[in-house]
Structure 1
Amino acid sequence: MKKLSIEGLSKSFENAPVLQDVTFSVNEAEFVSILGPSGSGKSTLFHLIGGLYQPDSGSIYLDSKNVTGKRGKISYMPQSPSLFPWRTILENVLVGGEIVGQENEQEASEMIAAAGLEGYAQAYPHQLSGGMKQRASFIRSLLSPQSLICLDEPFSALDEFTRLEMQKWLLSIWEEHKRSILFVTHNIEEALFLSDRIIVLSNRPAKVKRTFHVPFDRPRKENITLTNEFLEWKKEIYNELRDML
């Protein structure tokens, strides 16, 4: 069953085309990553899905309903955690449910503990490390009532070790809750490790250049990244991107 359908989406700014006839879908409980050259319009695509921009042409469907240009239909996690500094971690993760009157403090507390943040529910964002803030931000996304989570390079600012730990944690939480996720990254290895499918965008104006169906079974362990099969897939995707440089 399709959770998200993007149909013929195009967008220009000041007569400069950014996206052109982009079409793809995300299925129920599927993890899809988007890769593309810098400036190919990945963030613009998220802004369109989130209703912040109106497309020049094309449509966006969520749960078979046309949500083109409508805000508040997705749960969005940007590159920075964007936690409210004046609210505790518990208060921050409850924001999405609070807006629609569906906050569940017990569930939030349990997820905070499960994320390794036990004892920090009443702490403030400035008291947490970067990785801890990202965990809190993702919990907020999970607890929001929207059925699709869009993650815009959420681990790009983290060091390599913390990034790997966050990837493993994200997979463990996702495999438990199985929400539909659309994930933007510049990191091929990250996309392969996390995803069911990888969509490669072309240079501007961006189109869907190729889609890769990731063959690795779940649950995934980090040592999969050292296998010959993984490295061959990484090489093939790299060559697809290199052709656009």
Structure 2
Amino acid sequence: MTSMHLEIKDVSYSFDGKQNILEKLNLHVDEGEFVTILGPSGSGKSTLFHLTGGILKPDDGDILLDGKKINGLKGHISYMPQQPSLLPWRTVLDNVLLGSELAGFKDKEKAKVLLMKAGLGEYEQAYPHELSGGMKQRAAFIRSILSPQHLMCLDEPFSALDELTRVQMQEWLMSFWEEYRRSVLFVTHSIDEAVFLSDRIYVLSAKPATVIKEVIVPFSRPRREEQLLSEDFFNLKRELYAALKPTFTT
């Protein structure tokens, strides 16, 4: 598989040309890394994804993919939004093939294998309204895996799920990611989720957002639910909370 390196370099962005949402933001994602952006609500986490995906263009700074400037250019990332955004008139199989179909190819056999691994094999001809929330998110993730881009941007994909389903989905995502090792840039406002899933975490300030802390997560893989209750896990949570706390009142 082609190597991948994303660099966000001194990126600033404002919707109105007056007040910046992002200000001189710097971060990077290496090949096969799971990197999480952690920050308060309204800190510009989703805006960063829109910039990386070329929907928006930075006012200043550069977004580089493998050294190539991609400011304002679409088609370089696979994107999974907060809501699964499955098309209601397409079957589950056709939904997960959408990204690869738009890129000019589709591999139905691979899609069926991945749906089977995701526990959705018997639902490939079902429609989205027949699926639970967790099943819809699994289908949306398979769609991202099948898209040809090497960088996956996941925008709070589990935020609408109940706590138990959310933990189950985090474990499911980890098992899938460990097998395929796509580069991931993940957005969340949950400290637990960030620590459990990530190799590295960037903590953002409140608006205008900039990186205030970078943390390398020291836990080995594969990770399990029991780690959520360990002393080392709680210590890292406290460290991240201390970094985030000033942003709550800014």
TM-score range, shorter chain: over 0.9
**CA–CA separation in structure 1 for the residues paired with 2:140 and 2:8:** 26
Alpha-carbon displacement from aligned partner over 1:50-91 (angstroms, at most 9, x marks no partner): 101111011111122211100111000000000010000000
What is the CA distance between 1:168 and its match in structure 2?
0.3
What is the CA distance between 1:2 and its match in structure 2?
5.6
Residue type of the partner of 2:142?
I
* 2:211 is the alignment partner of 1:205: no
* 2:235 is the alignment partner of 1:232: yes
Identity %: 58
**CA–CA separation in structure 2 for the residues paired with 1:84 and 1:204:** 34
* 2:181 is the alignment partner of 1:178: yes
What is the CA distance between 1:16 and its match in structure 2?
1.4
Alignment correspondent of 1:160: 163
- Two-structure CA RMSD over aligned residues (Å): 0.9
* 2:148 is the alignment partner of 1:145: yes
Alignment correspondent of 1:112: 115
Residue type of the partner of 1:8?
D
**CA–CA separation in structure 1 for the residues paired with 2:40 and 2:80:** 21
Relative to the length of structure 2, the TM-score reads 0.96
Question: How many matched pairs?
Answer: 245
Give the 4+ runs in structure 1 shifted more than 3 A: none
**CA–CA separation in structure 2 for the residues paired with 1:205 and 1:35:** 14
Alignment correspondent of 2:5: 3
* 2:140 is the alignment partner of 1:134: no
**CA–CA separation in structure 2 for the residues paired with 1:62 and 1:132:** 32
Relative to the length of structure 1, the TM-score reads 0.98
Residue type of the partner of 1:169?
W
Contact 1:9 1:19 in 2 (8 A): yes
* 2:215 is the alignment partner of 1:194: no
Unaligned runs of 5+ in 2: none
Residue type of the partner of 2:243?
E
What is the CA distance between 1:3 and its match in structure 2?
1.6
SS for the counterpart of 2:118 is helix
SS for the counterpart of 1:21 is strand
Alignment correspondent of 2:128: 125
What is the CA distance between 1:102 and its match in structure 2?
2.1
* 2:57 is the alignment partner of 1:57: no
**CA–CA separation in structure 1 for the residues paired with 2:105 and 2:218:** 37
